[in-house]
Chain A
Amino acid sequence: MTKSVPYLTDEAIERDVASLLAEYAQARGLVIGPPVPIEDIVEKHLKLGIEFDDTHRLFSVPRTGDDPDILGAMFFEQARIVIDESLDPEEYPTREGRYRFTLAHEGGGHWRLHRHLFAKDPAQAALFGGPTAPSVICRSRELNRARGRAFHRFT
């Protein structure tokens, strides 16, 4: 099931990114410089859980190659992000960038900008067969498009 979300300009996204970074810096009494502490922001500031799992098995989507098709998923009600285990930055250090980008996309992006659009919808849960249905599933082709947008500021 797809859901349309309002278009946000790059400037609007940049403003929200700056706002989030400023909130975090103020809350922690820090000056933030690169690399942005995206994991701390997601887990400790946004209070989102990070999990790693085989997203293809989870969502019954066959893998088509070495690179994952489903990079991450956001569960708004449970306040958690699931990242595909092939992006584990300790197991696959060369994918650290993609991991950080996906984390920023789910947390800094969807959670911040879209969760208000996803009200509790029993029909949506039923569509995926249970109460643990994801609110958003992000595929690599969608994130590749998003790379051109301001989410890159988190990485």
Chain B
Amino acid sequence: MSGEKFGAFVRRHREAKEIGLREMAKMIGVSPTYLSKVEREEFAAPVEDKVRAIAKIIGCDADELMARAGRVSSDLADIIKSNPVELAALLRTTKGLTADEVTKLARQAQRAKDK
């Protein structure tokens, strides 16, 4: 994931899809001024449901966009809280793995669930 900040990332993808500022603001239920300031990093990224709405509009992964917003999806936090010791250990183990290696691990976990 590149280091591009949330606001600049959203603006670049919005413009690439030829969605106007006011147009997108209406789609996610905010004012054009608010969205303009978010895109310029003057305001922090909006709440999770709006970040997810933006992700859907610009066609990017919601978790990636949440990460750019400096957040973690609320469902992930709940999952960790359900098994805090085991899942924290698992996540710490994955630190340093490549994206492909993590994906392989996730597939193994899915196969284990499907049995």
Across the interface, B36 reaches (CB within 8 A) one of A39, A51, A89, namely A51
Across the interface, A89 reaches (CB within 8 A) one of B11, B32, B39, B40, namely B32
- Contacting chain B: which of A42-50, A60-68, A139-147? A42-50
Taking the closest CB of chain A, its distance from the CB of B30, in whole angstroms, is: 8
Taking the closest CB of chain B, its distance from the CB of A77, in whole angstroms, is: 17
Asked whether A40 is an interface residue with its Cβ less than 8 Å from the other chain, the reply is yes
Across the interface, A50 reaches (CB within 8 A) one of B21, B26, B31, B37, namely B21
Asked whether B78 is an interface residue with its Cβ less than 8 Å from the other chain, the reply is no
Complexed CA–CA distance, A91 and B37 (Å): 14
Given contacts A49-B15, A51-B36, contact A39 B20 (CB under 8 A): yes
Given contacts A85-B33, A88-B32, contact A51 B20 (CB under 8 A): no
Does A44 contact B18, Cβ atoms closer than 8 Å?
yes
| In the complex, per-residue mask of A60-94: 1 if CB is within 8 Å of any chain B CB, else 0 | 00000000000000000000000001001111000
Set of chain B residues within 8 Å of A51, measured between Cβ atoms:
21, 36, 39-40
| In the complex, per-residue mask of B72-113: 1 if CB is within 8 Å of any chain A CB, else 0 | 000000000000000000000000000000000000000000
Asked whether B25 is an interface residue with its Cβ less than 8 Å from the other chain, the reply is yes
Q: Which secondary structure dominates where chain B touches chain A?
A: helix
How many B residues face the partner with a CB closer than 8 A? 16
Asked whether B71 is an interface residue with its Cβ less than 8 Å from the other chain, the reply is no
Asked whether A128 is an interface residue with its Cβ less than 8 Å from the other chain, the reply is no
Question: Which residue of the partner chain B has the closest CB to A91?
Answer: B31
Asked whether A23 is an interface residue with its Cβ less than 8 Å from the other chain, the reply is no
Set of chain A residues within 8 Å of B36, measured between Cβ atoms:
50-53
Complexed CA–CA distance, A40 and B22 (Å): 10
| In the complex, per-residue mask of A18-41: 1 if CB is within 8 Å of any chain B CB, else 0 | 000000000000000000000110
| In the complex, per-residue mask of B9-23: 1 if CB is within 8 Å of any chain A CB, else 0 | 001000100101111
Given contacts A90-B25, A90-B26, contact A50 B20 (CB under 8 A): yes
27 A-B pairs with C-beta separation under 8 A: A39-B22, A39-B23, A44-B20, A49-B11, A49-B15, A49-B21, A50-B32, A50-B36, A51-B21, A51-B40, A52-B21, A52-B32, A52-B36, A52-B37, A53-B33, A53-B36, A53-B37, A85-B33, A88-B31, A88-B32, A88-B33, A89-B22, A90-B22, A90-B25, A90-B26, A90-B31, A91-B31
In the complex, given contacts A44-B18, A51-B21, what are 18 additional A-B residue pairs having Cβ atoms less than 8 angstroms apart?
A39-B23, A40-B20, A49-B11, A49-B15, A50-B20, A50-B21, A50-B32, A51-B39, A51-B40, A52-B21, A52-B33, A52-B37, A53-B36, A53-B37, A89-B22, A90-B31, A90-B32, A91-B31
